[in-house]
Structure 1
Amino acid sequence: MVGPTNTDIPFTQSEWNSKISKIYNYWLSIHPKSNELPRRQDFDPMDIVDLLPLVWMLDIHNDPLRYKFRLLGTALTPILGKEPTGQWLDEAFPDALNSGAYDDYHYVVRTQKALYRKGTPQYIVPEYKTIERLLMPLVDRDNNCQIILGLSVYT
């Protein structure tokens, strides 16, 4: 297992990959009000067409808490070695349960905060040494985290 993501690191956008920064600024722009998080219907993929190959979404299911791939960008499929859309995360990638990534997903659901990470990939992708990733919550009408919107850049 790769270590957990440090949620206290004060990364600034100037240190981020430009694609990470772009989706974060887009996510901020679709907040309905300053004190509300965006919902799925606030997100329009046509607004970020150039980023879609790196975008992925996980649906949140409760009791028990599980994640299901809503979509995986086409540039990520060859990196991860499969197309998991429609599959449960723990079935598509059994090692994810013991990875820091799974804890990161829980963090986003629990805190409803975006989470940035740059470091060693938490899934096994031997050709890549670094992942830069942003996870952002999308909520339902009751303000519960319904979807994790992610963008990942592997180098």
Structure 2
Amino acid sequence: MIGYWQRDVMNNGDRLDNKIKPVADAQSPLLQEVHAYWRAKCGDRAMPARADLDPIDIPALLPNLILIDVIPPSGRLRVRLVGTWIVNQFGRDYTGRYLDEIDFGEAQDEIVREYSAAAAAARPVCSDHRYRNLGGQIYDIERLILPLSEDGERVSMLLIVLDFTERSASPPRQF
């Protein structure tokens, strides 16, 4: 693992675990843009199909996107595509890997649970996270998970956008 999801007390004494929030509370313009695009593609359906999305419509978002297949009948989640910005932030490309096999450190269960909940509920999930890379750089991450469906009922794929905001470098540990 190149970095890790931060769940413990940060250098300024605050704490930020995975925090689910209403999509309307998303602060990131990237998340707001992809959510508006997704809603427009829904039409009169609960969620659009992957075929409804055209990368030409959203070129600025592509580096921050992840596509995850929901494998029937188990609902297991397999990474189909990871944007270049996300690969650079995490230091590796998880394309082709199952989400439950990726080392997210102590946040492993929470991350898998959040993605699985979006697939099971067939609704968008928005959340805040904190991530620290191995170089000590801390990022606040705002994440939006959007369901896609080929048949209009069962979620077949998840479209995720992550927006990283640099927070601060970790101070050296004092013993």
Greater fraction strand:
2
How far apart in 2 are the matches of 1:12 and 1:36? 17
How far apart in 2 are the matches of 1:106 and 1:22? 23
- Across the aligned residues of Structure 1 and Structure 2, the Cα RMSD in angstroms comes to 2.3
Map 1:114-129 onto structure 2 (within 5 A): 114-121=124-131, 125=133, 126-129=136-139
Alignment partner of 1:65 is 2:75: yes
**Where does structure 2 lack aligned partners over 5 or more consecutive residues?**
8-16, 166-175
Map 1:15-30 onto structure 2 (within 5 A): 16-30=27-41
Alignment partner of 1:39 is 2:49: yes
Alignment partner of 1:12 is 2:59: no
How far apart in 2 are the matches of 1:64 and 1:12? 31
How far apart in 2 are the matches of 1:97 and 1:16? 23
Highest CA radius of gyration, 1 or 2? 2
Cα distance, 1:139–1:154 mapped onto 2, change above 3 Å: same
Count, aligned residues: 149
Alignment partner of 1:50 is 2:60: yes
Map 1:100-115 onto structure 2 (within 5 A): 100-115=110-125
DSSP 3-state at the match of 1:113: coil
Cα distance, 1:67–1:119 mapped onto 2, change above 3 Å: same
1:31 partner amino acid: C
Larger relative contact order (CA 8 Å, sep ≥ 6): 2
Asked if 2 retains the 8 angstrom alpha-carbon contact of 1:5 and 1:100, the reply is no
Q: Normalising by structure 2, report the TM-score.
A: 0.75
How far apart in 2 are the matches of 1:75 and 1:147? 21
Q: 2:84 — aligned with what? A: 74
